[in-house]
Amino acid sequence: MAVNLKRSSGGQGSVKVSRRRMLGWLSGVGLVGSGVLSAISNFVFIKPRATYGQPQRFSIGKPEDYPSGTRMALDARRICVVREGNKLAAVSTTCTHLGCIVGISDTGYACPCHGSRFDQDGNVTGGPAPRPLPWYKVTLAPNGELEVDKDIEIQPGSYLTL
């Protein structure tokens, strides 16, 4: 546009035309711009700022609740608590494929939706799952209760030693 303005600054008539064109361009940019802005603001509107969900960090009771050899699925929390001797861990039961809850099977975990299978440590042994089941950090709180934090994934195989 700037080039146009310079070139046409010589004659009286062409100055008029280029001003008109300039205003036309500005109006066009303004209209399209406000259209884009309102479209974006619609998306900002429907993207919730606060979500209603379960807390990601929660208590799962005392270590005594899980005797050695336990593999107990807490479906409401979507984790499975595993204890071997004095080692304890929390494995996710949300299938890494498409989010169904995996069930405990003889060899590990099996997903009813699309047939993914995992071993006891959550490694993929079959089906379409792209990643192993994550392990979550478990800590022993001062009040003697176990606390799981689903925001912190840890290396599979790293147990909490009681």
What is d(CA 162, CA 160) in angstroms, rounded to the nearest whole number?
6
User: Which residue lies nearer to other proteins by CB, 129 or 160?
Assistant: 129
Say if residues 88 and 94 touch (Cβ distance below 8 Å): no
Question: Which of the ranges 6-14, 48-56, 140-148, 152-160 carries the binding residues for other proteins, by CB under 8 A?
Answer: 48-56
Over the window 130 to 159, marking each residue x when it contacts other proteins by CB under 8 A and - when it does not, the resulting string is: x-----------------------------
Question: How big, in percent rounded to 5, are the helix, strand and coil portions of the chain?
Answer: 25, 30, 40
Closest CA relative to residue 150, chosen from 94, 70, 85, 100: 94
Q: Does residue number 45 form part of the binding site for other proteins (CB under 8 A)?
A: no
Beta carbon nearer to other proteins, 78 or 137? 78
Q: Give the integer Cα–Cα distance in Å for 92 and 73.
A: 9
What is the pattern of x (binds other proteins, CB under 8 A) and - over residues 1-30? ------------------------------
Tell me if 55 contacts other proteins by CB under 8 A.
no
Q: What angle do CA 121, 124, 130 make, to 5 degrees?
A: 130
User: Rule CB under 8 A: which residues touch other proteins?
Assistant: 43, 46-48, 51-54, 75-76, 97-101, 103, 110-115, 117, 127-128, 130
